[in-house]
Structure 1
Amino acid sequence: MNHANPTLFTAAVGKIPPAGNPLVAHKFGADPYALVYNGRVYLYMTNDVLEYDADGSVKDNTYGNINKIGVISSDDLVNWTDHGNIVAAGPEGAAKWATQSWAPAAAHKVVDGKDRFFLYFANNASGIGVLTSDSPTGPWVDPIGEALILRTTPGVEDVTWLFDPAVLVDDDGSAYIYFGGGVPKGKDAWPDTARVMQLGDDMISVVGEAVTIPAPYMFEDAGINKVGGTYYYTYCSNFFQGERTAGSPPAGEIAYMTSDKPMGPWTYHGSILKNPERFFGVGGNNHHAIFSFGGAWYIAYHAQTLAKALGVSNGYRSTHLNQVVFEDGAIHEIQADYEGVKQVKDFNPYVRVAAATMAWSAGVATETIVNADDPSHATQAVTDIDHGDWIALSRVNFGAVGASSFQASILSEAGGVLELRLDHADGELIGTLHVPAASDAAWTESETQVTGAQGVRDLYLVFKGEPGTKLFKLGYWQFGE
């Protein structure tokens, strides 16, 4: 069997099975920040989107048009659900006073007995805003109608870039926000532009005055974690090309400092993640978030791997995941790679699965589908489906008895077939769902029989139909035992 025959199916680009990185291949996502809640990790990302010049060529990412925040989540770290974009800034955004939404940070806290979620973001480099929600996926609202942190905030007047927040909710319920960046002229070794400030109990106000974190060669990208009784502040070093102080971080690397208090004093230790150029052959800025999930530690970071594969390495970033080891108060050096991390649990096909859940994909996009009965709770569908496109899931556990049926929610366009295959896009065929051409623009439930789906296998949903036409949209699916 030829698993790379382009006449049978679309070739994967950027993320090639069985690789785990980048996390998704149907969209970009930069400056990742992790929130773990109720057995899932949610990643919030700057919504990089290709920009074009007048001739239709991809130009460098200016970041100026980014006013959305992308969200994906997973409970196994390999199969990721796309939750679409949070419209954070701009005339249509939750925070209408803001023009951009960069480098988000998320936090969860129980307030007045209720789970509350807080999303902090940078309005370019001029200030930091906050949104709130009752859910990690929204809907989100602006609770204060203005920036949380501005240059009038005590202790930040001299910060070059007021951006890149990170938030820690401590064991006693107190919370702290870390932010800042930039290099004042002549201060490459000690920019003194990193800050920490206490948040109010409500998480939408600040207390007192921001305190400087003396991070050597600071550039951007605050990170904060508490392991045992030690606070770890992490950041990206600047790109100063002159002679660097002995023991300082090399250019564009993630470095760390520690303290026994959330606001310092801090002790510098060293670099833990080299620039993406070292691992992937394409550089740029370095941005990360470290989090604990299922008893292990991980780092989410970005690199231009998908952009490189598409031939547009112009500043468009994708999120990756690798493991982190803390030992005796130190962080081991991290190895970034395409392989990624091990899947922590099998995937259950016998529950309703949002179609925009995938480990790998080829040719597809996702689109927000608004529920007319409840516009505040939209879902993501797999769209832009052409002949040969596919999505795939890793380590799907069909059990010893196996699956007998498959049903899906579909909005037909030209129509076609959905083939269910195992392990490869041209692997063993276990079922075929026929989708007639659309008679009206309505979502329908369709079902077909399945045979041969047993044990733990990778699952491929392969789309076939008339070449050159859009076949259908896929909302959700589920197998029956």
Structure 2
Amino acid sequence: MTLQLNQAIGKVPPNGNPVVANRYGADPYALVFGDRVYLYMTHDALEYDGTGAIKENTYSSINKIAVISSSDLVNWTDHGEIAVAGPEGAAKWATQSWAPAAVHKVMEGKDKFFLYFANNASGIGVLTSDSPVGPWVDPIGEALILRSTPGVEDVTWLFDPAVLVDDDGQGYIYFGGGVPEGEYAEPGTARVMMLGDDMTSVVGTAEVIPAPFMFEDAGIHKREGVYYYTYCSNFYDGERPEGSPPAGEIAYMTSDKPMGPWTYHETILKNPGHFFGVSGNNHHAIFQFHDEWYIAYHAQTLSKAQGIANGYRSTHLGRLFHNEDGSIQDVEADYKGVQQIQPLNPYQRVQAVTIGWSAGIKTEFETAAGERLVTDIDNGDWIGLSGVDFGSKGAAAFSASVISLEGGGTIELHLDDPAGLLIGKLPVPAANIPGNPMELKTEVAGVEGTRDLYLVFTGSTGTPLFKLVSWQFMQ
């Protein structure tokens, strides 16, 4: 009997985009800390009408921020969601959490992390943590920026923050958006403001950034003494002066100071509709990792592949190149993504929620395990890992931490394809009552060098098989 494998949807091997296919994630913002990139994303989640049909994303119920991280930019670890707004959130005064921005700063010799978010378009809040993945707390119990903040009284949308901690330790926050009635060419709604030393207060008066055809989505990065302010242009469908940004594209301005004055240049990333055939808003973040520059952006590629492109967005990655004169080259958005920058080490414990590609599975926090793990495992589901380095000696054994369910089943280990060379099988016993994680082990053979690895799950169809916590190879 031939196993019927479930198909990858959205992120299909060997592509790197969208970066994950087991969840949506919009408005990406990147934080580099240690040897990892953390992506913080608006937690797009499906909305349903009274008949149970999936409806257009209204964004009104989004009160969480999703977090994933990677050391190689192809395999991503799912850290779950941060409960930001609402009764169950850290910021109980807020009703929504959109378009996050995260930053790290050493304060009194300790690493501190700050997560800024938009409470719809009415204000910006901040959370703090000692770790990039939390837990997070609200240090001030109210919004950081409101319309009562000096210099922002007339800003249409108080949202979409971006944050820079400069070389001297001074913090700056960039935000704003919207178009006052008829003011498409010069909306005047982009702002920059100094942050206090504590990063949870603002100082002075917000300054206007004269961004042509501004709409939303503040971005900031610094390179070789030049500050790059980036943003999304508005969708005005009338005539635009020559040299103006086209509709819904990412444009950039530069300055030799963090608060300006600014010089407009051009656009660098067309609307997602140009590349993927499904348009929508355009949102990005630019960051440096291991001396190379990247851009994170979103598109409705996963939801399109699922047949439900109703405003549910997914994060992508692309390379960003600066020319010798400091200008930025056009970005080509695609499904291919970026090159894996280092292999995955299978000889150290790998969280099961570290995923290159997948079919069928979900992830959730499991109290019994004390961490996030892979769930909703059915017959024919699988997880793929890109560029796993087994070394010249190769692997002799494989172990996994699992929580048995009523079905039980087997973890099959395949190389280079879900139906590729089989190097081992790990039986997972059934359990009448889900218990604590158990450690199981099996021998493997025939693997060395750097290969893609697929964990294929088999068992009785229609029965929950097991939950996967972590895995590791031994030599």
TM-score of the alignment, normalized to the shorter chain, above 0.5: yes
Give the 4+ runs in structure 1 shifted more than 4 A. Answer: none
- Which amino acid in the other structure matches residue 472 of structure 1? F
Structure-2 residue corresponding to 1:338: 335
- Taking the aligned partners of 1:52 and 1:278, their CA distance within structure 2 comes to 28
221, 225, 244: which one pairs with 1:225?
A: 221
401, 410, 428: which one pairs with 2:402?
A: 410
- Taking the aligned partners of 2:2 and 2:469, their CA distance within structure 1 comes to 26
Residues 1:387 and 2:379 aligned together: yes
- Taking the aligned partners of 1:228 and 1:403, their CA distance within structure 2 comes to 45
Deviation at 1:452, TM superposition (A): 1.0
- Taking the aligned partners of 1:453 and 1:62, their CA distance within structure 2 comes to 48
Residues 1:138 and 2:134 aligned together: yes
Structure-2 residue corresponding to 1:375: none
Deviation at 1:380, TM superposition (A): 1.3
Structure-2 residue corresponding to 1:100: 96
Cα contact 1:416–1:472 (8 A) shared by 2: yes
User: The residue matched to 2:304 in structure 1 has which SS?
Assistant: helix
Deviation at 1:371, TM superposition (A): 5.7
259, 268, 273: which one pairs with 1:277?
A: 273
Cα contact 1:82–1:357 (8 A) shared by 2: yes
- Which amino acid in the other structure matches residue 438 of structure 2? T
461, 470, 478: which one pairs with 2:455?
A: 461
Structure-2 residue corresponding to 1:451: 445
Per-residue deviation, residues 113-153 of structure 1 (Å, max 9, x unmatched): 10000000000000000000000000000000000000100
Residues 1:368 and 2:365 aligned together: yes
Structure-2 residue corresponding to 1:399: 391
Deviation at 1:244, TM superposition (A): 0.9
Per-residue deviation, residues 22-80 of structure 1 (Å, max 9, x unmatched): 00011100000000000100000000001111111110001011000000000000000
- Taking the aligned partners of 2:4 and 2:472, their CA distance within structure 1 comes to 25
Structure-2 residue corresponding to 1:349: 346
Cα contact 1:259–1:266 (8 A) shared by 2: yes
Cα contact 1:8–1:426 (8 A) shared by 2: no
Residues 1:426 and 2:423 aligned together: no
Q: Aligned residues, how many? A: 472
Per-residue deviation, residues 275-297 of structure 1 (Å, max 9, x unmatched): 00010011100000000001100
Residues 1:85 and 2:78 aligned together: no
Cα contact 1:288–1:301 (8 A) shared by 2: yes
Structure-2 residue corresponding to 1:476: 470
User: The residue matched to 1:20 in structure 2 has which SS?
Assistant: coil
- Taking the aligned partners of 2:447 and 2:83, their CA distance within structure 1 comes to 40
Deviation at 1:368, TM superposition (A): 1.0
- Taking the aligned partners of 2:49 and 2:422, their CA distance within structure 1 comes to 44
Deviation at 1:7, TM superposition (A): 5.0
- Which amino acid in the other structure matches residue 223 of structure 1? G
- Taking the aligned partners of 2:138 and 2:368, their CA distance within structure 1 comes to 23
Deviation at 1:440, TM superposition (A): 3.1
Residues 1:265 and 2:261 aligned together: yes
TM-score under structure 1 length normalisation: 0.97
- Which amino acid in the other structure matches residue 278 of structure 1? H
User: The residue matched to 2:302 in structure 1 has which SS?
Assistant: helix
Per-residue deviation, residues 335-390 of structure 1 (Å, max 9, x unmatched): 00000000001110011111000110000100012368xxxxx5210111110000
- Taking the aligned partners of 2:26 and 2:371, their CA distance within structure 1 comes to 22
Per-residue deviation, residues 408-443 of structure 1 (Å, max 9, x unmatched): 111111111010110010111111110111143221
Cα contact 1:289–1:301 (8 A) shared by 2: yes
29, 33, 48: which one pairs with 1:37?
A: 33
Structure-2 residue corresponding to 1:24: 20
TM-score under structure 2 length normalisation: 0.98
Cα distance change on mapping 1:6 and 1:257 into 2, 3 Å: farther
1:229-308 equivalence runs, <5 A: 229-308=225-304
| Unpaired runs of at least 5, structure 1 | 373-377
Cα distance change on mapping 1:6 and 1:19 into 2, 3 Å: farther
- Taking the aligned partners of 1:124 and 1:383, their CA distance within structure 2 comes to 32
Deviation at 1:329, TM superposition (A): 1.3
| Unpaired runs of at least 5, structure 2 | none
Per-residue deviation, residues 164-220 of structure 1 (Å, max 9, x unmatched): 000000000001000000000010000000000000001000000000000000000
149, 154, 159: which one pairs with 1:158?
A: 154
Per-residue deviation, residues 268-315 of structure 1 (Å, max 9, x unmatched): 000000000010011100000000001100000000000000000100
Identity of aligned residues (%): 69
- Which amino acid in the other structure matches residue 347 of structure 2? Y
Residues 1:441 and 2:434 aligned together: yes
- Taking the aligned partners of 1:58 and 1:476, their CA distance within structure 2 comes to 33
User: The residue matched to 1:326 in structure 2 has which SS?
Assistant: coil
Residues 1:65 and 2:66 aligned together: no
1:148-187 equivalence runs, <5 A: 148-187=144-183
User: The residue matched to 1:306 in structure 2 has which SS?
Assistant: helix
- Taking the aligned partners of 1:86 and 1:320, their CA distance within structure 2 comes to 20
- Taking the aligned partners of 1:347 and 1:305, their CA distance within structure 2 comes to 26
Residues 1:198 and 2:194 aligned together: yes
User: The residue matched to 2:303 in structure 1 has which SS?
Assistant: helix
58, 69, 76: which one pairs with 2:72?
A: 76
Per-residue deviation, residues 82-110 of structure 1 (Å, max 9, x unmatched): 00000011100000000110000000000
Residues 1:315 and 2:314 aligned together: no
Query: What is the RMSD of the two structures over their aligned residues, measured on CA atoms?
Result: 1.1
